[in-house]
Structure 1
Amino acid sequence: MEKSLHNEGEQFGKLNISDDVLSTIASIAASEVKGVTSMSGGITGGIVEMLGKKPVGKGVKIEIEEEKVKVDIFLVVNYGVRIPDVAWEVQENVKKSIEAMAGLKVAQVNINVQGVNFQKVNPKEGDLKSQEEK
C-alpha cells in the first residue's frame, strides 16, 4: 500500500506499507482476543512452514482496493466460547489496530473459524477418573 506524506500542502515523499506488515498487525490483534486459540494458516501456511520459513501474518489474507483494506482472518477458537462474540471482538480489534497503526481505512474484516480447540486440562476430572477406576 502506498500513501503520499503531506504537511500543509508540501509533499515529503511516499510511504509504502507492505501487505506483510498489515498481516502481522491483524494477526497480533486477533490473537489478543480472549477465546482465540491460534491463527490457522491453512494449506498455504502449512506448505510455507514445511519449507522452513516462518509464515508472516499466519491466518490472515489482505486485499487493498482504492485505499481500503479488506482482511480475511482464519482462526481456531477455544471450546465453550460464544463464537459470534469472539468474532465480533476480533473484527473490532483488527480494524482498530490497522487504522491506528497504518492510517488506512478498513472496509471489511471477515472471520473464518477453522476449528475448535478441545484441549482443556481439568485436574478435578482427572481425579474423578482415577477414583472411578479403583
Structure 2
Amino acid sequence: MATKTASHSAAETAQDRSATEDERLPRQTAGTGRDANTTVSEGTSGTQEPAATRGRTSIAGGVVEKIAGMAAREVPGVHALGGTLSRTLGAVRDRVPGGRAQVSRGVKVEVGQRQTAIELDVMVEYGVPISDLAREVRENVISAVERMTGLEVIEVNVSIVDVRLPDEELEDDEPRVQ
C-alpha cells in the first residue's frame, strides 16, 4: 500500500493546501495517449536511507479507474456503470473471444501527484432513492481509492444516466438468442 513518506515537509504540505484546485489537480488524464502515472510518494536514494523510503511509487490512472469502478458496483442499487452506448459497445466487446468485462466502463479519472477526481456514469435499479445511492457510492469509492492508493480524492461526481425498470426482460449480459 502506497503512503506519503516522511520526505514531504510541513512547508510542502502547507504549500499544497494553499494551491488552487487547478494547480493541484492533474495534468494527466487516464485513457489518454500520454503517460498516465502519478507519483504518490517521492522516496530518497542512497544506501544510508531506510529501505522503505528508497525509490518512488507510481500509480497509473487506469488503476484508479478500476478501483473506483469496482467500489461503485459494490453498492446495492447500482445496476451498471456507463451510458447506454458505452454499455452496448461494451457488451459486444465482452462477447468477442478473448475479451473480458471492462471494470472501468463508465469511470473517468483525473490524477495528479497527490490527488484525484473521479466521474461516474451510473445506471440505477428502479425504486432506489437516488440521493442516498449517490452518497453511498461516493463514500465507498473515496474509501477504496484512498485506502488502496494513498491519493486524496477531492471529488466524486455521480451522474445518473439511466434507470433499470423491473419489467425489462434482458440483462445487458444476456444474449437475445439461445
Report which stretch shifted further, 59-68 or 70-79: 59-68
**Matched residue of 2:166: which SS?**
coil
1:38 aligns with 2:80: yes
Contact 2:86 2:105 in 1 (8 A): no
Aligned residues: 120
1:99 aligns with 2:141: no
> 1:1-134 maps to which residues of 2 (within 5 A)?
1-4=38-41, 6=43, 11-40=53-82, 43=85, 47=89, 50=92, 52=96, 54-119=101-166
Equivalent residue letter for 2:77: G
Alpha-carbon distance in structure 1 between the residues aligned to 2:167 and 2:90: 29
- Provide closer, same or farther for how the CA distance between residues 120 and 48 of structure 1 changes in structure 2, counting only shifts above 3 A: closer
Q: Normalization by structure 2: what TM-score?
A: 0.58
- CA RMSD across the alignment: 2.5
**Consecutive unaligned residues in structure 1, runs of 5 or more:** 122-134
List per-residue Cα deviations over 1:82-132 (Å, max 9, x = no partner). Answer: 1000000000100010000101100000001110011359xxxxxxxxxxx
Q: Return the structure number with greater helix share.
A: 1
**Matched residue of 1:27: which SS?**
helix
List per-residue Cα deviations over 1:23-64 (Å, max 9, x = no partner). Answer: 111011101111111111564565566555543411110002
**Consecutive unaligned residues in structure 2, runs of 5 or more:** 1-37, 169-178
Report which stretch shifted further, 39-48 or 9-18: 39-48
Percent of counterpart pairs with the same letter? Answer: 32
Equivalent residue letter for 2:144: S
Contact 1:75 1:112 in 2 (8 A): yes
